[in-house]
Structure 1
Amino acid sequence: MKELTKSQLALYNGQDKEEVYVAYKGDIYDVSSSRLWKNGKHYEHWAGQDLTDELPEAPHTEKVFERFQKIGKVKK
């Protein structure tokens, strides 16, 4: 499993690298395969960052992360 700082995670924003990652509750998920994250944006949410605080505003629950592979942790 990878361990990335928030600065390193930010590079996986769909623009700088081929892989697209998001974090939730300290876990990092690879959302590269999702058409909803194409180009690193999903509605008003941006890839390469922790979405924990944004999830309450989403029309879905944290179960959405079960669709994606957990690839690491955000380093504190």
Structure 2
Amino acid sequence: MIDDKNNYPSYSRFKLALRNGQDRPEIWVAYKGIIYDVSCSRLWRDGKHYEHWAGQDLTDELKDAPHSCQVFERFPIIGLLI
């Protein structure tokens, strides 16, 4: 996942919420304290992926997803959620 957490900037939940694909062009989501940029995914178009919304911490929601956390390996790490 992430080797050195000191190399990444930290973002608050408020800053994460602004990257929801509607307020700004970036589409970010967090999982287990790590923020990923999912902007390039066609499945996150307009900041929505099925019943999930971008700009949020999806840690608790992943248990209901039909995929594992390995899906996040496809996306660049933006920073850490504080």
Q: TM-score, normalised by structure 1?
A: 0.96
Q: TM-score, normalised by structure 2?
A: 0.89
Equivalent residues in 2 for 1:32-71, closer than 5 Å: 32-71=39-78
Count of matched residue positions in the alignment of Structure 1 and Structure 2: 75
Larger Rg over CA atoms: 2
For each residue in 1:49-68, what CA deviation from the matched residue of structure 2 results, as whole angstroms up to 9, or x when unmatched?
00000000000000000000
What percent identity do the matched residue pairs reach? Answer: 64
Tell me which residue corresponds to 2:26: 19
Q: Matched residues in 2 for 1:28 and 1:6: separation?
A: 10
Unpaired stretches in structure 1, ≥5 consecutive residues? none
Bigger fraction of residues in strand: 1
Q: Matched residues in 2 for 1:10 and 1:61: separation?
A: 23
Out of 69, 78, 81, the position equivalent to 1:74 is 81
Unpaired stretches in structure 2, ≥5 consecutive residues? 1-7
Q: Say whether 1:10 aligns with 2:17.
A: yes
Q: Matched residues in 1 for 2:16 and 2:9: separation?
A: 10
CA RMSD of aligned residues (A): 0.6
Bigger fraction of residues in helix: 2
State the 4+ residue runs in structure 1 displaced beyond 4 angstroms: none
Q: Matched residues in 1 for 2:44 and 2:13: separation?
A: 19
